[in-house]
Structure 1
Amino acid sequence: MHDVLVGHLSVDVRASLRLFAFYLANGTLDLDLLDDIDYRPAVFEFGSSLEQVFAIYTNVLQVDVDGTVLNDGDAQYRVAQWIRARCDPNYEVEPPFQDWETELHL
C-alpha cells in the first residue's frame, strides 16, 4: 500500500475518529464484546494502553481514494478485542493480531 499525501483528513475519517473516541471514553465501545466490562481504568490509567488503542484503530481503518471510511466497525472491533484480552486473560483474540495491526508509528 502506498501512502498518499493529502492536506487534511476527510470529513468521514474525522467523524469516524470522533465517534470512536466518544464510544471509547463513554465505555460503550462494542457492547456485544465488552458488555459488563468497565475497561476504562485499564485503558486510561497509563498512556501506553490508550496509545495502543488508537494505533490499532488507525492501522486497521481503511479509507478509499475519496477519503470515505470503509471499515469503521472492523477497526472498532479489533480495538475491542485488544481491550477484552487486556481485561480478561481467558479471552483469545480471533484471529490473532498481526504485527501491522499493533505497530506504533513514530
Structure 2
Amino acid sequence: MAHLSTDVRSALRFFAFYLGNGTLDVELLDGIDYRARLLEYGSDLEMIFAIYANVLEVDEHGETLNDGDAQYRVAQWIRQCCDPGYQAEPPFEAWETELHGP
C-alpha cells in the first residue's frame, strides 16, 4: 500500500497547525477569529479539509506544488463564512468543494 509522501504529510501537518492556532493566511483573515466557528459546526471543518485536499497538487515524486494556493483558497472560504460582505475571487468551482468518501 502506498503512503502519502513526506512532503504531503508535512504540508497537511503545517496546514492543520496554522488553521488551529489562527494564523492561516494572516493577511486575508486579519482580525477574524474563525476557530470557535470551526468547533461549533463540524461541517465547516470538513469543508476546509476538503477544499485543501481538492486544491492541493502533487507531482509524480509526491512533492507538493501549490500548498500556498490551497491554503489561500481555504482562507477565502473561511472569510466568506465569517464576513458576509466578502466574495471569493474567483468563485469556488464545484470540484473545489466536492466531498469524497462513503
User: What is the CA–CA distance in structure 2 between the aligned matches of 1:87 and 1:46, rounded to whole Å?
Assistant: 13
What RMSD, in angstroms, separates the aligned Cα atoms of the two structures? 0.8
Residue 41 of structure 1 deviates from its aligned partner by 1.3
After TM superposition, the score normalised by the length of structure 1 is 0.93
2-structure distance, mates of 1:35, 1:22? 17
1:68 aligns with 2:63: yes
User: Any idea what SS the aligned residue of 2:84 has?
Assistant: coil
Task: Calculate the TM-score normalised by the size of structure 2.
Answer: 0.97
Q: How much identity, in percent, do the aligned residues show?
A: 68
CA distance in 1, matches of 2:79, 2:39: 14
Moved over 6 A (4+): none
Amino acid across the alignment from 2:17 = F
Residue 87 of structure 2: SS of its match in structure 1?
A: coil
Give 2:87's match in structure 1, choosing from 82, 87, 92: 92
Residue number among 27, 37, 40 corresponding to 1:42 in the alignment: 37
Q: Determine the structure 1 residue equivalent to 2:73.
A: 78
> CA deviation digits over 1:26-71, x for unaligned, max 9?
0000001001100111122121110000000000000000000000
| Unmatched 5+ stretches in structure 2 | none
Provide structure 1 residue ranges, at least 5 long, that are not aligned to the other structure: 1-5
CA deviation digits over 1:1-22, x for unaligned, max 9? xxxxx60000000000000000
Cα distance between partner residues in 1 of 2:16 and 2:99: 18
User: Is the Cα contact below 8 Å between 1:29 and 1:76 reproduced in 2?
Assistant: yes
Asked if structure 2 preserves the Cα contact closer than 8 Å seen for 1:43 and 1:83, the reply is no
